[in-house]
């Protein structure tokens, strides 16, 4: 299907919005696929469902290279469109909170300026699209410091537009790093304590994991019950390293844009079968 888009656009990647529009009416997935998907859904009817699912859509650049596409932007757009599908799957299943790992602090220093410029545009379009879709509430988690003004404004606008929505809570992790988040939380705690006239000794007495959690980007939210990563890589890449202390992890071999709903349902099924002991 992507080949038809490239032929129609002379090899230039479609905009994110055009990409999503093209995917609204996908070709039939096949009778057996549909039957299997329905069977998985039925199996989840009485199974425990995670409240918070965090997702790392990985493998976008490899996906583009395997298809001999000119730039990584083709893969990033396909990955962004997959994130939207993923959120629909979560919403339809009754999941309350999701976190999407879109751009890390390491990406900001490790990617070329050309690739980053494309990513900024794609993420901005995604944020705007999601903030106008269903009754979802959008929240940026991460640092705005290294992001261009246009993207900062798009993320803030998405938050403002959806601040009163009561549906699926969608965290967009952009300019995000787990170690940076913990450092920011500690800095916030120290600054608040100092502004209230507290001493260093007093701070040492009140410093607890619960206090640190209150100053994280995701303050007030449940920690992720399940973290999913595509492309077969089995690492967390500085993603929610504090919040995922007790999370279940599920790794999918498919590259990000190739993730299917049955892959997602299998992850949820696997989560429901695990015994979460929390040290007991």
Q: Which residues are catalytic?
A: 58, 107
Phi and psi, residue 227, nearest 5°: -115, 125
Q: Which residues contact 53 (CB under 8 A, 6 or more apart)?
A: 90, 95, 97, 98, 99, 224, 225, 226, 227, 228
For the record, the structure tokens of 223 come out as 């920690």
Spatial separation of the C-alpha atoms in residues 89 and 9, rounded to whole Å: 30
Question: 52-56 and 97-104 as β-strands: parallel, antiparallel, unpaired?
Answer: parallel
d(CA 61, CA 74): 8
Q: 100: left (phi > 0), else alpha (psi -120 to 50), else beta?
A: beta
Q: What is the CA angle 118-172-192, rounded to 5?
A: 120
In terms of Cβ atoms closer than 10 Å to its own Cβ (0-12, 13-18, 19+), residue 163 is: exposed
Q: Residue 76 in 3-state DSSP?
A: helix
């Amino acid at each position: 299907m992507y080949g038809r888009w490239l032929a129609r656009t002379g090899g230039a990647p479609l905009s994110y919005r055009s990409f999503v529009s093209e995917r609204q009416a996908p070709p039939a997935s096949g009778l057996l696929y549909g039957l299997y998907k329905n069977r998985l859904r039925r199996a989840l009817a009485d199974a425990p469902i995670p409240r918070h699912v965090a997702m790392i859509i990985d493998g976008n650049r490899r996906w583009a290279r395997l298809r001999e596409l000119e730039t990584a932007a083709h893969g990033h757009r396909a990955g962004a469109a997959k994130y939207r599908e993923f959120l629909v799957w979560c919403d339809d299943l009754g999941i309350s909170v999701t976190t999407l790992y879109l751009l890390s602090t390491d990406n900001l220093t490790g990617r070329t300026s050309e690739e980053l410029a494309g990513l900024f545009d794609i993420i901005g379009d995604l944020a705007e699209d999601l903030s106008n879709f269903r009754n979802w509430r959008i929240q940026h988690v991460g640092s705005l410091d290294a992001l261009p003004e246009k993207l900062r404004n798009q993320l803030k606008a998405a938050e403002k537009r959806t601040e009163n929505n009561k549906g699926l809570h969608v965290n967009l992790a952009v300019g995000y790093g787990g170690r940076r988040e913990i450092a920011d939380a500690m800095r916030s705690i120290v600054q608040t304590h100092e502004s209230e006239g507290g001493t260093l000794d007093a701070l040492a007495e009140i410093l607890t994991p619960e206090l640190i959690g209150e100053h994280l980007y995701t303050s007030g939210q449940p920690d992720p019950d399940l973290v999913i990563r595509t492309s077969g890589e089995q690492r967390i890449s500085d993603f929610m390293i504090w919040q995922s202390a007790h999370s279940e992890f599920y790794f999918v071999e498919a590259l990000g844009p190739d993730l299917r709903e049955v892959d997602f349902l299998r992850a949820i099924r696997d989560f429901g079968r695990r015994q979460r002991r929390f040290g007991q």
